[in-house]
Amino acid sequence: MKLKYLLLGLVSSAFLLPSCVEVDELKPQEGVGLQQLNVKGYLVSDPTYLYDSEIDEANGTITVKVPYYISDVDPIMGDLTQMKLEAELPSGYIFSPILSGIHDLAAGFQTNLVDPRGGSRPFTIKAEAVKSDAARVISAKLTESERTAVVITDPENEGEHGKIVVAKTSSSIDGALHEVALTVSPWATVTCSSIDPITGYVDFSVMPEITITAQNGVDKTVYDVSVETPEILPNGIGYISALWGFQIYEGNEYGFEKANNTTMAVVDDYLIISNFKSAGDMIVLDRFNGKKLDVKVNTTGMPTDRQFRAICHDDANHMIAASYTDNSTMTTPTAVRIFAWKDGIENPPTSIFWADWNGEYFAAASGYKTRELFHNVNCRGDIFNGDAVITTTVLQSYRCWFFQFKDGKPDGNLSIEYAGGMVSMWASSNCAPMTNKAPYGYIWHTGNFRGTVVCVPAGTSATRGFNFDQPSSHWWAGPTNTRSCDYIEFNGCNLLAVSNGNHAQTSAQRLYVANIGPSPSASSLKDGFIFDSREGNAAGTAGIPGTGYSPTGMTSAYTYETGKVVLGDNFDEPVNRAMGDVKFARSSDGNAVQVYMLTPDQGIFAYELTRFDL
């Protein structure tokens, strides 16, 4: 954008024709027609832009107003000694000498304006570098959020303030308010108490007053900042969008290692990725933008000779980690350990469970003692307050396992249940509890080419479980595989998210989210469809920002970036112990839930579902 200056019009004298004067006696009157005089100038170095002039008829000057800096971004001044002119003249008028040629308008160019009857008057045409009087906020962008509407209103009257209103379309906005990039009028300056002197970002979280001072140092505009919440739906899902996503490559900057990072937990603003080899090296990301954080999970008191593949979070924002125990080969200790972080991941965890496979607690597992325990883990309830249940699945056991807790301590012995549905369970199968105590309601999936998702409503019947009908759209055509699922209740909805892929293309995984209702039936998964990360909602990918063939829409072994190599294949079937994880998490304000999908060695992405009616 180039700076423009308005031509100040001339005030012309009135032209009265006396009735007694002959026509041939008329003489040009001073000022007659000069309101039509228009002179513009341009730099020889850049003839693209014409600059307006200011005409002072009384003093005989025409001043071309050239911006002080002719660039919006670089301090480049125009060469006023190398300029050309062009003019629009009243009928019959000429300049003498004519305006053609290159002129030094810094010194001034002398000419005469000659009228049709031979009269003339001298004019000096010169150029002046003028500092801009523009003092506006052109745009405000939350650097950590792409889903935000910001409305800027300039003041209507002198002395009033302008307004910058941020629409809170996402729960991620609270954190993103701390770094807002302002674009202002060229060469204007920003004064604000919350501006970072190094980055220039403004902290909107304190609702600051922002003053924009024009290049001329005189003109100023003051803006007030506010954050407004859009209309909220009393029930249902409103705005949905992708938060972020990336593919996992060899040599990645996040710290992912092949077959090492398989499950997730959400605590506060953190998304934590497990580390099979070393719990102290779990990856910590910002849950709202996916950036790696310099934060360590405190593992003080956890045994260093145990592997903690399975992590999750409870309904009260506590992280839980369960020890992987391979009792099939006796290659790991037979004591099962579970830890939970009561006061945030920066503080030491609490040991909430310690029991041996061969002890009384595991009496129900007498027929399943040559199994691998805690490839995955989920929790329902507050693990430290009241009732909570921790769930897991065991390879080829075809049963879900329930560890009941009350106020942070085990409550009774292990419970194992099979209540109907597909009899098939692989390493990536997991159990998402719908209740926090018996009688249990839960959802699990087969985790292999059968691609089946099984719903077991709360109750005691040994045959109450059933298979959800496989969706006929927004789902990979069969044979499919499933890698993980999770369940959450939000704003009157019973949300189920499933990671599913085409078994013939084991690399490609997508996320399917549905509202299965409080009393699900076999058709609830397909009938309750909300969105799919690859094809969007029923209206298509345009309806859900971020969907499609991209790192925010799918995970894949086929690279999205030329020259990169995906960390691993993550094939399903038990030989390679393929894994995956899906986790829901609530926002602290209660207006949104986020859902995360991880395909180990291939990719991870996040979506958000809100109550905001946009």
Whether 152 contacts 161, CB under 8 Å: no
Distance (Å) of CA 136 to CA 130, 153, 181, 369: 18, 10, 14, 71
**Quick one: pLDDT at residue 11?**
30
Tokens for 569, please give them.
């294949």
Q: What is the pLDDT of residues 250-290, one digit of tens each?
A: 999 999 999 899 999 999 999 999 999 999 999 999 999 99
Amino acid in position 93: Y
Question: What pTM does this model have?
Answer: 0.77
Q: Which among 85, 128, 122 is positioned nearest to 107, based on CA atoms?
A: 128
What residues does 242 pair with on adjacent strands?
607
Q: How confident is the model at residue 335 (pLDDT cuts 50, 70, 90)?
A: confident
Query: Which of 171-180, 426-435, 494-503 comes out lowest in average pLDDT?
Result: 171-180
Pairing of strands 442-445, 431-433: antiparallel
Mean per-residue pLDDT of the chain: 89
**Quick one: pLDDT at residue 210?**
97
Q: Is the pLDDT of residue 25 over 70?
A: no
Domains, the chain, in order of start with CATH, read 23-130 (2.60.40.2340), 137-228 (2.60.40.2340), 240-610 (2.120.10)
**Quick one: pLDDT at residue 449?**
79
Q: What is the DSSP letter of 436?
A: S
What is the sign of the dihedral through the CA atoms of 58, 61, 66 and 67? negative
Distance between CA atoms of residues 341 and 146, nearest Å = 32
What is the sign of the dihedral through the CA atoms of 510, 513, 514 and 517? positive
Report the residue count for the chain.
614
Q: What is the pLDDT of residues 591-607, one digit of tens each?
A: 999 999 999 999 999 99
Q: What is the pLDDT of residues 77-97, one digit of tens each?
A: 999 999 999 999 998 999 999
Whether 111 contacts 126, CB under 8 Å: no
Q: Which of 225 and 324 is assigned the larger pLDDT?
A: 225
Give the count of beta carbons closer than 10 Å to the beta carbon of residue 174: 17
Q: What is the pLDDT of residues 350-406, one digit of tens each?
A: 999 999 888 899 999 877 766 788 989 999 999 999 999 999 998 877 899 999 999
What residues does 355 pair with on adjacent strands?
336
Q: What is the pLDDT of residues 29-74, one digit of tens each?
A: 444 457 789 999 999 999 999 999 999 999 999 999 999 999 988 9
Q: What is the pLDDT of residues 442-476, one digit of tens each?
A: 999 988 878 899 999 999 999 999 999 999 999 98
